[in-house]
Structures are given as structure tokens and as C-alpha cells.
Amino acid sequence: MSQQDRKRESKVLNRAINDLSEHFDTVQVFVTKHEPAEENGTIEYNGGIGNFYARFGHVEMWVDEQKNASVNSFFNFTDDEEEEDDEDGESFS
């Protein structure tokens, strides 16, 4: 990927960040692109606008949530939604 291509993609990212910042106090964006010709096969971009500490805190919260998430909570399944059987084998909710 050429430097010109990287600059063009950075401009696209910055435009999106600026557009979002018209509606939100803080914006942080992470994007990746598969590029087989690059050393590790992935090009990464990130950028943000607004209060650094608010953005950093939000990213930390998101990472913690992802670490603690289970498959069931990811798909919003709860025990309340599952049918249970009583002693006679009849279903009840």
C-alpha cells in the first residue's frame, strides 16, 4: 500500500470522526483493513476527538465488558427466557 493510499484512508477516517463529533461530545474510532502485502497482513488506523480521559475511560469500560462477557450474555439469553420443568415434567415459564 502506498503512502498516498494511507493518506487517503486517514482522511476518510478523520472525516468520519469529524462528522460524528457534530453529534457527540467524544468520538474514538478503531478500524482495520486486511492488506496481504503488508508485513502482518493488517493495516490499523485509529483516531478520536473530544476529552481524552472520557475516551480512554470509555475504551477501558468496553474492554472490561468484553473480557467479562460470556456467549450467553453476548446473545442476551437469560434464565428468565428459558422454560423450566416442574416436578411432573410440565413446562412453565
Tell me the per-residue pLDDT of 17-63, one tens digit each, with 9 for 90 and over.
999 999 999 999 999 999 888 778 899 999 999 999 999 999 999 99
Model pLDDT, residue 12: 97
Q: Which residues contact 54 (CB under 8 A, 6 or more apart)?
A: 25, 26
Q: Taking residues 68-76, report their average pLDDT.
A: 65
Q: Indicate the pTM of the whole model.
A: 0.66
Model pLDDT, residue 72: 52
Q: Which residues contact 55 (CB under 8 A, 6 or more apart)?
A: 26, 27, 28, 48
Confidence check: pLDDT of 93 > 80: no
